[in-house]
């Protein structure tokens, strides 16, 4: 009997240990605020929904600002009136001091209560707007044929060490990221999110932008030493890679540059079709530049975009054409990189 009880306990322990990874993943998903994407088709165009969200937050902002201005004016008037009453106390009597003091007290209490009630109102509304806006845009961008298991991890952020390990940018002093989405394309997992990298500026505490745009990571099956960086330049040559130690220019044609170890055969290591397909990318519209880093087993693509993509719209209408381009760019890049 003891042996049977022991066997049962061991079986229970095995069962629990098998469930642990699932439970841990659920806890992780919850902590990262997992939002499933592309589960339901909306009949309302994404840009109409996004613009409605933007307009609502902007109207709320203007209303809140107007209310605050009115309250400030009334408070200033009452404070001035109270001071006048105090000054005239010698002529009008001690009751002026009482009235003035009560008025000042009421004004300060009112201002304090108003501040406590409203200090988090607009920031909380803004957070909800950003979350809703990202979800709306992502549901459009990642609604692509052959793409599955799309998940937005709202609270997840890129780790600086992982990005720096790409060896595309060095001297990074700060990193900002958001809107990290994981999915599969033709059964190949990838991650796509917003990223900004900063370097030290000329002045103390100043930070200059090195890269800002979208960041794509995906595994590959390459086998070679060191790394390659392929750069596709737009009209404005910004966000250029600065970690080129150990690399030389292997090829340069118009706006297309290949960096790699001296004497390396990039067409052989990466495949001529892949190189030719990257060469066909045009950096126009919202897309400013593209840098793609290849290591054996890992590919990272840095896509630089203008403000119509990197900034969440607030006081100006959204640019639907930019998001259509972003969706097209992502699909095109995945088509090239998925082997």
| pLDDT 10s digits, 114-163 | 666 666 555 778 888 999 999 999 999 999 999 999 999 999 999 999 99
162 with 47, same domain?
no
E-strand ranges in 121-224 read 147-153, 174-185, 188-200, 207-219
221 with 328, same domain?
yes
95 with 171, same domain?
no
198 with 290, same domain?
yes
Q: Helices marked H in the chain — which ranges?
A: 2-31, 46-87, 89-92, 95-118, 121-141, 160-164, 266-270, 272-279, 307-310, 320-337
Strands across the sheet containing 147-153: 34-36, 147-153, 174-185, 188-200, 207-219, 298-305, 287-295, 228-232, 256-260, 248-253
Q: What is the pLDDT of residue 88?
A: 65
205 with 329, same domain?
yes
Residue of 331, 35, 338 lying closest to 179 (CA atoms): 35
**Phi, psi values for residue 237, rounded to 5°:** -80, 85
112, 119 in Cβ contact below 8 A? no
Give the chain's domain count. 3
Range of the domain at 84: 32-141
137 with 164, same domain?
no
Q: What is the pLDDT of residue 204?
A: 86
Q: What is the pLDDT of residue 317?
A: 92
65 vs 73: CA distance, rounded Å: 12
7 vs 30: CA distance, rounded Å: 35
Q: What is the pLDDT of residue 90?
A: 60
231 with 303, same domain?
yes
183 with 307, same domain?
yes
198 with 319, same domain?
yes
Residue of 163, 297, 300, 302 lying closest to 224 (CA atoms): 297
Token pair 């009008």: residue = 92
305 with 243, same domain?
yes
- pLDDT, tens digit only, all 339 positions of the chain: 444 434 434 444 444 344 455 565 556 556 668 999 998 888 889 999 999 999 888 888 777 777 777 777 777 777 777 777 666 666 665 666 666 667 667 767 766 766 666 665 557 788 889 999 999 999 999 999 999 999 999 999 999 999 999 999 999 999 999 999 999 999 999 999 999 999 998 888 899 999 999 999 999 999 999 999 999 999 888 899 999 999 999 999 989 999 999 999 999 999 999 999 999 999 999 999 999 999 999 999 999 999 999 999 988 999 999 999 999 999 999 999 997
159 with 282, same domain?
yes
Q: What is the pLDDT of residue 236?
A: 83
End-to-end CA distance of the chain: 57
67, 61 in Cβ contact below 8 A? no
Q: What is the pLDDT of residue 335?
A: 96
Q: What is the pLDDT of residue 72?
A: 78
Where a domain ends, among 91, 126, 141?
141
Q: What is the pLDDT of residue 41?
A: 82
128 with 167, same domain?
no
Q: What is the pLDDT of residue 33?
A: 84
């Amino acid at each position: 009997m003891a042996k049977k009880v022991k066997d049962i306990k061991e079986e229970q322990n095995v069962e629990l240990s098998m469930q642990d990874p699932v439970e841990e993943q659920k806890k992780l998903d919850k902590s990262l605020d997992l939002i499933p994407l592309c589960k339901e088709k909306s009949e309302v165009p994404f840009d109409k929904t996004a613009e409605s969200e933007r307009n609502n937050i902007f109207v709320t902002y203007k209303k809140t600002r107007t209310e605050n201005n009115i309250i400030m004016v009334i408070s200033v008037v009452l404070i001035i009136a109270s001071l006048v009453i105090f000054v005239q106390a010698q002529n009008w009597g001690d009751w002026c001091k009482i009235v003035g003091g009560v008025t000042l007290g009421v004004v300060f209490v009112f201002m304090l209560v108003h501040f406590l009630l409203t200090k988090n109102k607009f920031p909380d509304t803004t957070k909800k707007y950003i979350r809703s806006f990202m979800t709306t845009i992502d549901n459009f961008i990642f609604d692509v044929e052959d793409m599955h298991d799309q998940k937005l991890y709202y609270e997840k952020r890129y780790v600086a060490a992982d990005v720096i390990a790409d060896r595309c940018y060095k001297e990074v002093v700060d990193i900002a990221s958001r809107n990290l989405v994981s999915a599969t394309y033709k059964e190949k997992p990838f991650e796509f999110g917003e990223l900004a990298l900063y370097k030290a500026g000329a002045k103390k505490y100043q930070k200059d932008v090195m890269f800002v745009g979208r960041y794509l990571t995906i595994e590959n099956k390459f086998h070679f030493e060191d790394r390659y960086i392929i750069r596709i330049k737009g009209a404005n040559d910004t966000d250029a890679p600065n970690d080129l130690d150990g690399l030389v220019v292997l090829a340069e044609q118009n706006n297309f540059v290949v960096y790699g170890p001296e004497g390396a055969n990039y067409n052989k290591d990466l495949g001529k079709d892949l190189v030719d397909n990257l060469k066909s990318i045009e950096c126009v519209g919202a897309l400013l530049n593209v840098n793609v880093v290849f290591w054996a087993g890992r590919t990272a693509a840095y896509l630089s975009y203008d403000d119509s993509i990197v900034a969440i719209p607030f006081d100006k209408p959204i640019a639907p054409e930019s998001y259509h381009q972003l969706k097209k760019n992502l699909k095109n890049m995945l088509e090239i990189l998925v082997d």
